[in-house]
Amino acid sequence: MRYSDKKTLATISSMLCVVMLCSCSEKSSQIHQKPCFPMKNSTLVEVCTKNAHSYPAIQLEKENPSVNCIVYEIFTTDENKGEKQFLGTPNPYGSMYFKKWTRSMNSDDHRLPRTVLQRQQLDFHSYKDQTGKFNGTVWIEETTSSLHGLSIDQAFVIESFQFDVEGEMYTLSLSLKCMEDFPQEEWDHLCYNMFLKPDILFGWLPGITAQNLAYDFIPFHLDIKENYDGIGFPLSLYSSESLTKENPIIQLQSQPFSLPAITYSYPEEWFSNPPETRPPNWSLHLILNDSRDMRKNLYSWTLPIQIEEES
């Protein structure tokens, strides 16, 4: 097993007040465990919703360790203001990515919310109980039962990664390894998307949270974030030659990034006892896919920035 001896633990200071309209049944205090290398590809569960609707993504991953779950908040347009409105994240990158890979599924159905499994199965269920409220337990059960039989590729693994910290700035260094001779044509069209992901954000009311939200986009060091178009950036920029068994590893490094400061402010007149909150545990969610057909060569890894310290 290879892992940096540097243990990183983010300190979140006050800056931003989060306002979200969502509902959830679980609040987690988990800190990510140290990953085991090499990290194999995981089954990708993607939730797409207009208002960061609180699907219990943390619990789904606990019950299905081979699953990575990410939630995209799909922006809407305020007809009165003509502006894009976000409830959980100030950034449009997850919404832009969703629109691109949805087109690759040849689906003209724009209904939300939706749960997508490995971009092979699409589910529009609302998972409501008899009272008409969203039921996270039902969502977990039905999603788990649908995971069986999904196929995932294993051509790539993450051989190692580490986060270097300088002040408040983080830099990811990552070794991506290919386990086979990867076709040059497919390598030329293999793109990455990497999202900064908080495990939990809290809303105005007790029990209201958003989990595993695609909060921001973090590029590798040669790419320009402002040029992001929703498809992602090609890995061929970092190695023009495809990876093979003889030349299996590519070294990647992110641009330096900081962790957003998340605080919560509740009006005293609203609550005599404000909801209990905590700072989020952050990770990077790295996704690879073909730029022509974003269902193809699909890979997903969650890279924890904060880990448990050894006692």
251 within 8 A of 175, measured Cβ to Cβ: yes
| Predicted local confidence at residue 52, as pLDDT | 60
Structure tokens at 69: 């779950």
pTM of the model: 0.84
Strand partners, 161: 174
Burial 152-168 (b: 16+ CB within 10 A, else e): eeebbbbbbbbbeeeee
What are the sequence ranges of the domains in the chain? 16-23+37-304
Whole-angstrom distance, CA of residue 50 vs CA of residue 84: 11
Full pLDDT tens readout for the chain, 311 residues: 333 433 333 322 222 333 332 333 333 334 456 788 999 999 999 999 886 667 899 999 999 999 999 999 887 655 444 445 455 788 999 999 998 998 877 766 677 888 999 998 877 777 777 777 788 898 999 999 999 889 899 999 999 999 999 999 999 999 999 999 999 999 999 999 999 999 999 876 667 788 999 999 999 999 999 999 999 999 999 999 999 999 999 999 999 999 999 888 777 766 677 778 889 999 999 999 999 999 999 999 999 997 544 44
| Predicted local confidence at residue 108, as pLDDT | 64
| Predicted local confidence at residue 264, as pLDDT | 81
Whole-angstrom distance, CA of residue 96 vs CA of residue 91: 10
